[in-house]
Structure 1
Amino acid sequence: MKNKKVSFMDHLECYFNIYLPTVRGLSQSTITSYKATFRILMEFLYTVKGIPSDRVEFSTLDDKLIIEFLNWLESERNCSVSTRNQRLSAIAAFSIYAQNRDFGSAVIFRNCVLKVPKKKVPRKGRSSFTKNEIKILFELPDPRNEIGLRDKTLLCFMYASGTRAQEVCDLTVGDIQFYPDRAGINIHGKGQKVRRIGIPCDASNMLKKYIVHRRIINYTERHVFSSQRHEKMSVSCIEEIYSKYIDKAKSKYPDMFRYNYTPHSMRHTTATHMLEAGVPLIVVKNFLGHVSLQTTQIYTEVTQDTMNKQLKLWNDKWFPMDNPFEHTDKKSNIPEFLR
Structure 2
Amino acid sequence: MSPQDALSEYLAHLGVERGLSEHTLAAYRRDLERYVGFLSSRGITALDQVVERDVTDYVEALRTGSDGGSALSASSTNRAVVAVRGWHRFEVREGRCPTDPAAGVRPPGGVKRLPKAIALEDVERLLEGASAAEGVLGLRDRALVEVLYGTGARISEAVGLAVDDVDLDRGAPSVRLFGKGRKERVVPIGGYAVEALEAYLVRGRPVLAGQGRGTPTLFLNQRGNPLSRQSAWAVLQAAAERAGVTAHISPHTLRHSYATHLLAGGADVRVVQELLGHASVTTTQIYTLVTPDTLREVYAASHPRALG
How would you bin the TM-score normalised by the shorter chain? 0.7 to 0.9
Which runs of structure 2 are paired with 1:247-286 in the superposition (5 Å)? 247-249=241-243, 252=244, 257=247, 260-286=248-274
- For 2:90, the aligned partner's letter is Y
Using CA pairs below 8 Å that are at least 6 residues apart, which structure has the higher relative contact order? Answer: 2
Match of 1:134 in 2: 123
Quote the residue 2:183 is aligned against: 193
**What is the alpha-carbon distance in structure 1 between the residues aligned to residue 182 and residue 61 of structure 2?**
31
Deviations 1:175-225 (A, max 9, x none): 0122135522111111211111211122102111101122289x9952111
What residue number does 1:290 align with?
278
Q: What SS does structure 2 have at the residue aligned with 1:179? A: coil
Q: Is the contact between residue 185 and residue 196 of structure 1 (CA under 8 Å) also seen in structure 2?
A: yes
- The answer to whether 1:93 aligns with 2:81 is no
1:155 equivalent to 2:145? Answer yes
Deviation (angstroms), 1:126: 1.8
2:223 equivalent to 1:224: no
Answer whether contact 1:137 1:245 (CA < 8 A) is retained.
Answer: yes
Q: Distance in 2 between matches of 1:158 and 1:247?
A: 18
The answer to whether the Cα contact below 8 Å between 1:173 and 1:221 also exists between their aligned partners in 2 is no
* Corresponding residue for residue 239 of structure 1: 233
| 1:176 pairs with 2:166 | yes
Displacement of 1:311: 6.2
Equivalent position of 1:326 in the other structure = none
Number of equivalenced pairs: 295
- 2:214 touches 2:224 (CA, 8 Å); kept in 1? no
User: Identity of aligned pairs, percent?
Assistant: 26
Residue 242 of structure 1: CA displacement? 2.6
The 3 A distance-change label for structure 1 pair 43 and 235 is farther
What is the CA distance between 1:93 and its match in structure 2? 0.7
AA aligned opposite 1:139: E
SS of structure 1 residue aligned to 2:78: helix
Shift of 1:248: 4.8
SS at match of 1:186: strand
Q: 1:180 to 1:29 in 2, by over 3 A?
A: same
> What SS does structure 1 have at the residue aligned with 2:122?
helix
Per-residue CA deviation, residues 285-318 of structure 1 (Å, 9 max, x unaligned), is 2222222222222112468998788668756xxx
Distance in 2, matches of 1:190 and 1:215, equals 30
CA deviation after TM superposition for structure 1 residue 264, in Å: 0.7
List aligned pairs for 1:44-83, cutoff 5 A.
Answer: 49=41, 56-58=45-47, 59=49, 62-63=54-55, 65-67=57-59, 69-70=61-62, 71-72=64-65, 76-77=69-70, 79-83=72-76
* 8 A contact 1:128–1:261 mirrored in 2: no
Give the one of 20, 27, 30 matched to 1:33: 27
AA at the equivalent of 2:239? Y
Distance of 1:88 and 1:305 partners within structure 2: 34
User: Residue type matched to 2:197 in 1?
Assistant: L
Tell me if 1:14 matches 2:9: yes
Once the two structures are TM-superposed, the CA of residue 165 in structure 1 deviates from its matched residue by 0.6
Uncovered stretches (5+) of structure 1, i.e. residues with no partner: 1-5, 321-339
**Quick one: distance in 1 between partners of 2:137 and 2:292?**
35
Q: Is there any run of 5+ residues in structure 2 with no aligned partner, and where? A: none
Give how far 1:245 is off: 3.3
- Compute the displacement of 1:67 (Å): 3.3
How far 1:77 sits from its partner (Å)? 2.9
* Alpha-carbon shift at residue 20 of structure 1 (Å): 2.9
Greater Cα offset, 186-195 or 173-182: 173-182
Amino acid at match of 1:203: A
Find the aligned partners of 1:50 and 1:285 in 2 and give their Cα distance. 43
Q: What TM-score do you get using the length of structure 2 for normalisation?
A: 0.79
Shift of 1:91: 1.1
- 2:149 touches 2:257 (CA, 8 Å); kept in 1? yes
